[in-house]
Amino acid sequence: MSAIKYIPEPFRIKAVEPLKMLTRAEREEKIKEAHYNLFNLRAEDVYIDLLTDSGTAAMSQAQWAGVMTGDESYAGAKSYFRLMDACKDIFGFGYVQPTHQGRAAEKVLMPLVLKKGQLAISNMFFDTTRAHVEMAGARTIDCVVEEAKDPAKRAPFKGNMDVELMEKTIKEHGAEKFGLVVMTITNNAAGGQPVSMKNLREVSQLCRKYGIPMCIDAARYAENAYFIKRDEEGYQNTSIKDIVREMFSYADLFTMSSKKDAVVNMGGLVGVKDAGSPLVLGLKANGISYEGFVTYGGLAGRDMEALAIGLYEGIDENYLRYRIGQAEYLAAKLDEAGIAYQSPVGGHGVFVDAAALFPKIPYTEFPAQVLSVELYKEAGIRTCEIGSYMLGNDPDTGKQLKSDFEFTRLALPRRVYTQAHLDIIADALVSIKERAGQMEHGYRVTWEPPILRHFQAHLEPIK
Ligand SMILES: *Cc1c(COP(=O)(O)O)cnc(C)c1O
């Protein structure tokens, strides 16, 4: 009997979705047909889908009821105002605009704050955020704390910005070169690692000192708030909602993918603290051109209704304890088996250290992609590579970049999988570990698009 504790679900199940189970031979055929890119698989050929926690949540009965009452008016829908009331209440921002997802929020904002030749600093940029900064003509610099780069080092708030490095970087290039500072909370690329309130405060002070606007990339703001409550001194008796309000008080701007902590299947938000800012006019203009009128931004009225409800469900402390508890449960199983991951475990999943698991496979052959393919073959589990394969090539030289990490991300959809599913995942990893030491070769790219290649590229095994 294992002593690992599982936090029971604070809900019961009302609707179910049947799953198909293929044989190992069928899975080997499917992944070959998909050019060893898991994004090319049909979802019905996957048993446990941990590709992403984005847009994969199970909505609640209240949200489904909201779908029925959604107002589909083109302009000024009731559902829009309900969403705006929730945003004002939770984030305290002066102006918020819906978009169809997070990258759309980035698309409407980035060209307004960044110009060609400028720079943007982040604790770590998420891939689409980095892409939109680059498409605006600017370049990105990551200044995450050093301990984030050591998956074995257990430290709280490994998602933090290295504020000394940030200031040094600003002085080196000159403050006028910088158009934006982005705080990604939690820090997705570093393994869903949280950012402390102290760090947000310090980064915001530096931004003020050098006159650079600060933007929160807020996809997992609620999980971040839960970590602050659990681990940061002085917040144990503060409500999640008050913690969220303080986090957002330090920023001038935010972009959000609502497909994560806001527990909906589609949606995004972009916000400006100061409703009188000239940026508001620009956001409206870009929003109307790219997304739709400002009171729906690419969303149906029913999506906005479900989002307004999901924003509150996502900051419920009992839900967050169960949610983070799932990641902790899976991580504890890996501890038992001696499988390394970004530790302590972060918010939205377990980021397995594939470089440690496959010491003989070089970064140029994508060890974390190897683990992703093996997990699919082993048990029909779909995961996502977050390493050199995702990072891609230098936009200026075209050379393969070396990522700080070679992670295989086991992202946990919200309110979807049970304890038994988590046990199957742990068992699959254990059986792969038994043969991992002998594996020496990975994959080569046979075709790739110029940007965000991991979604589409074709791979083949190196013999
Ligand atoms: C998912 C995500 C985005 C992009 O949002 P989409 O809804 O997928 O377009 C941006 N930043 C972070 C940190 C994310 O996790």
Residue 253 maps to a domain: yes
Locate 265 and state its tokens. 């299947």
Instruction: Kindly state whether residues 335 and 377 are assigned to the same domain.
Output: yes
Instruction: Kindly state whether residues 363 and 298 are assigned to the same domain.
Output: no
Residue 233 maps to a domain: yes
Ligand 1: does its nearest atom lie under 6 Å from the Cβ of 257? yes
Our answer to whether residue 366 is catalytic in this structure is: no
φ/ψ (deg, to 5) at 426: -60, -45
Instruction: Identify the domain boundary among 313, 332, 349.
Output: 313
Residue 436 Cα to ligand 1 midpoint, Å, equals 32
Instruction: Kindly state whether residues 422 and 332 are assigned to the same domain.
Output: yes
Ligand 1: does its nearest atom lie under 6 Å from the Cβ of 103? yes
Instruction: Kindly state whether residues 253 and 354 are assigned to the same domain.
Output: no
- Cα torsion 49, 54, 60, 64 to 10°: value is -110
Identify whether the C-beta of residue 399 lies closer than 8 Å to the C-beta of residue 49: no
Residue 241 maps to a domain: yes
Q: Whose CA is nearest to atom 7 of ligand 1?
A: 102
Identify whether the C-beta of residue 269 lies closer than 8 Å to the C-beta of residue 253: no
Residue in the block written with tokens 């890996």: 334
> Strand pairing partners for 139?
119
Edge-to-edge strand order for the sheet containing 178-184? 95-99, 268-272, 253-257, 214-217, 178-184, 119-122, 139-142
Instruction: Kindly state whether residues 186 and 323 are assigned to the same domain.
Output: no
Identify whether the C-beta of residue 99 lies closer than 8 Å to the C-beta of residue 283: no
Locate 31 and state its tokens. 């992944």
Instruction: Kindly state whether residues 440 and 455 are assigned to the same domain.
Output: yes
Instruction: Identify the domain boundary among 267, 294, 313.
Output: 313
Q: What is the pLDDT along the chain (463 residues), one digit of tens a residue?
A: 457 899 999 999 999 999 999 999 999 999 999 999 999 999 999 999 999 999 999 999 999 999 999 999 999 999 999 999 999 999 999 999 999 999 999 999 999 999 999 999 999 999 899 999 999 999 999 999 999 999 999 999 999 999 999 999 999 999 999 999 999 999 998 899 999 999 999 999 999 999 999 999 999 999 999 999 999 999 999 999 999 999 999 999 999 999 999 999 999 999 999 999 999 999 999 999 999 999 999 999 999 999 999 999 999 999 999 999 999 999 999 999 999 999 999 999 999 999 999 999 999 999 999 999 999 999 999 999 999 999 898 878 989 999 988 999 999 999 999 999 999 999 999 999 999 999 999 999 999 998 778 999 999 999 8
Instruction: Kindly state whether residues 148 and 262 are assigned to the same domain.
Output: yes
List the CATH number of the domain containing 424: 3.90.1150.10
Instruction: Kindly state whether residues 149 and 292 are assigned to the same domain.
Output: yes
Burial pattern 408-422, b for ≥16 Cβ within 10 A else e, equals bbbbbbbbbbeeebb
User: 361: domain range?
Assistant: 24-53+316-461
Instruction: Kindly state whether residues 116 and 29 are assigned to the same domain.
Output: no
List the CATH number of the domain containing 124: 3.40.640.10
Locate 25 and state its tokens. 């031979």
Residue 205 maps to a domain: yes
Instruction: Kindly state whether residues 334 and 443 are assigned to the same domain.
Output: yes
Identify whether the C-beta of residue 386 lies closer than 8 Å to the C-beta of residue 130: no
Residue in the block written with tokens 């609640």: 60
Distance between CA 68 and CA 194 in Å, rounded? 36
Residue 178 Cα to ligand 1 midpoint, Å, equals 22
Our answer to whether residue 171 is catalytic in this structure is: no
Q: Which H or E element spans position 332?
A: helix 317-337
Tell me how many domains the chain contains: 2
Identify whether the C-beta of residue 341 lies closer than 8 Å to the C-beta of residue 331: yes
Our answer to whether residue 217 is catalytic in this structure is: yes
